[in-house]
A = this chain, B = another copy of it.
């Protein structure tokens, strides 16, 4: 809820990530508490709800609620979640309803016992699959992909869960990094396109699965490797088993993990996010070698790129906008008459740094363009002589169907306006985006073919069912 308010308050104009997952199999450890810390490290991936499910080998217990991890869990709740393995989920709603029934993990009873699920991603054929299941008599209590997936798995192989999973993977399309937990086993699955990240680590004698490696670092686990696209990782008393049931697809990792979502201290599919962001700034400098007195980032995500740009160009770099550390905690909204207050509550220009300067400002992306204009004006009001906006990713021209909330296509400013129109709208002296090839160069160790650029070019790796 805090999240929702802060977003409307701040006119936040960024794509929204869907979810984060963290699981640990470590008998003898305080698995719920470790999961709490893991989710805490993944909080940036979803602020709307949080939940933790624990299995003691006989039974799965689950606690969850709306809000930040620290709001949902208190000492008392964690104390009661004892078991040999646990996994948790943080969530930001994309196209599903924001209702209590949708909070994950979701926990199910089926023929063989209990099974819990947590999901990061978005199925593209869920409407069709749901209709099929409903026609076969299924009922659903939520609108979540997770409930659909569990129904399919159980239907496909209740007596042999793994075979049910494999059959289900043949049918579901879209992006998914899943954690499943039965009483005895934890299972991690990454979709065949590897759209969303998922990695494996070691924790003492046990194992950890997490959306990002920063969660492994936080709990003190050692990174082993990324889960591979299409891979099913099964963790139980016998250790880790890996299945790769399907013919591999062309990989299609979401590029926005590097541009904006993931924490800089994470490493995804071998590439340091921080390094990728630095490289984005470097490419930006190569493509757009502007001259100016000062390079400033839009905090927090633009910092590395701005630093790279300044270094590459030999220009002075400085923090020119101060971000209120307590932002996102207010429930009091500015009145209609005072819209720009929303941005000022979040960001304040440092006049003494900016005044009289020709300023290059680096941002990571523009979705609707609502906030950028206010920031540019703020920089001008602080005395900048010129304001040049550089964006360390290409124009977003297409909606994402794979778990990212980039708003509907109609709201995407770059879908309906050319760059110069956007520049006028924002009021910048110049506006330049990074090219797709620049983007690909920046994440170079990852092959251009292995990346999903759909939001920049409309080249969707997975077809989307018409009515989804």
Residues of A within 8 A of B (CB): 30, 33, 36-37, 40-41, 43-44, 62, 64, 68-71, 73-75, 78, 99-101, 106-111, 115, 130-131, 134-143, 147, 150-151, 154-155, 158, 214, 217-220, 263-265, 267, 272, 274-275, 278, 300, 303-304, 307, 311, 316-319, 322, 324-326, 329-335, 338, 340-341, 344-345, 348-353
Contact = CB atoms under 8 A, between A and B. Distances in A.
A50 to B, nearest CB: 11
A150 to B, nearest CB: 6
Contacts of A62: 99
Given A134-B110, A147-B141, A150-B139, A264 B304 contact: no
B43 A324 contact: yes
Nearest to A215: B348
A147 to B, nearest CB: 7
A107 to B, nearest CB: 7
B300 A307 contact: no
Contact of A307 (B155, B272, B274, B318): B318
B332 A75 contact: yes
A214 B136 CA distance: 42
Q: Which 3 A-B pairs have the closest CB atoms?
A: A272-B352, A265-B322, A111-B134
A446 to B, nearest CB: 14
Given A265-B349, A304-B319, A43 B326 contact: yes
A138 B108 CA distance: 10
A108 B70 contact: no
Nearest to A103: B100
